[in-house]
């Protein structure tokens, strides 16, 4: 079951992301390469699947979703494996 993403968690992550979206996205690529390479590969594969979509926007949305779930999970004292 996924954790509940609170408004507090969302605000915290959004402020982190929107300080410098490009730098944050690049740091998430590196983070996920180490933390969860399968997820990173899946995000990049989906992002390049359709030439009619903005690859960076797809990746940003996916990384943002991952970070929100990760943060909410940590707030609830769980791990992503739970």
Does this model's pTM top 0.85?
no
3-state secondary structure of 44: helix
Lowest-pLDDT range of 13-17, 24-28, 43-47: 43-47
Considering the domain boundaries, does residue 2 fall inside one? no
Considering the domain boundaries, does residue 59 fall inside one? yes
pLDDT digits 0-9 by tens, 44-79: 888 777 777 788 888 899 999 999 999 999 888 766
Are 9 and 70 in contact by the 8 Å Cβ rule? The answer is no
Domain range for 11 is: 7-75
Q: How many domains does the chain have?
A: 1
Q: What number is the average pLDDT over the span 32-54?
A: 84
pLDDT score of 21 more than 90: yes
Considering the domain boundaries, does residue 81 fall inside one? no
Query: Residue 17: enclosing H or E segment and its boundaries?
Result: helix 7-17
pLDDT at 82: 47
Taking the mean position of all CA atoms in its chain, how far away is CA 13? 10
Are 70 and 32 in contact by the 8 Å Cβ rule? The answer is no
pLDDT at 66: 93
pLDDT at 59: 86
Considering the domain boundaries, does residue 82 fall inside one? no
């Amino acid at each position: 079951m996924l954790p509940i993403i609170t408004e507090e968690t969302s605000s915290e992550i959004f402020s982190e992301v929107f300080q410098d979206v490009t730098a944050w996205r690049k740091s998430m690529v590196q983070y996920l390469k180490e933390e969860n390479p399968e997820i990173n590969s899946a995000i990049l594969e989906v992002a390049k699947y359709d030439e009619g979509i903005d690859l960076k926007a797809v990746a940003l949305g996916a990384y943002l979703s991952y970070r929100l779930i990760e943060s909410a999970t940590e707030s609830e004292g769980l791990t992503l494996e739970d």
